[in-house]
Structure 1
């Protein structure tokens, strides 16, 4: 699956090997914040510089729109 392979490439480049983590535990602890950034804040070229969450078309009163 091309989309899965692309995600893995991006995760390796921007999360796993983006900086020198002191340990695997530190790297693992950073994954939830990176995943949040990837889905909510990072523009994607294949989505015309929109974020993946924007594809859901959530209204302002949807609880998923409330995030940190």
Structure 2
């Protein structure tokens, strides 16, 4: 299993689904389910409707902190 250096996660101001999966080690389907349930903080890009995530919000959510 590849380990992604933690500092790599702070290189981007916005994460895509693959970044969230790499950070949490959750499958894409799990992340999509969490989005559908409103259990993970996310945004939708206006033009294409693509899911994007703010790293600080995802990290706080993953640690169990309120965002």
State TM-score, norm by structure 2.
0.26
Higher strand share: 2
Which one has the largest radius of gyration?
1
State TM-score, norm by structure 1.
0.26
The one of the two structures with greater contact order (alpha-carbon pairs below 8 A, sep at least 6) is: 2
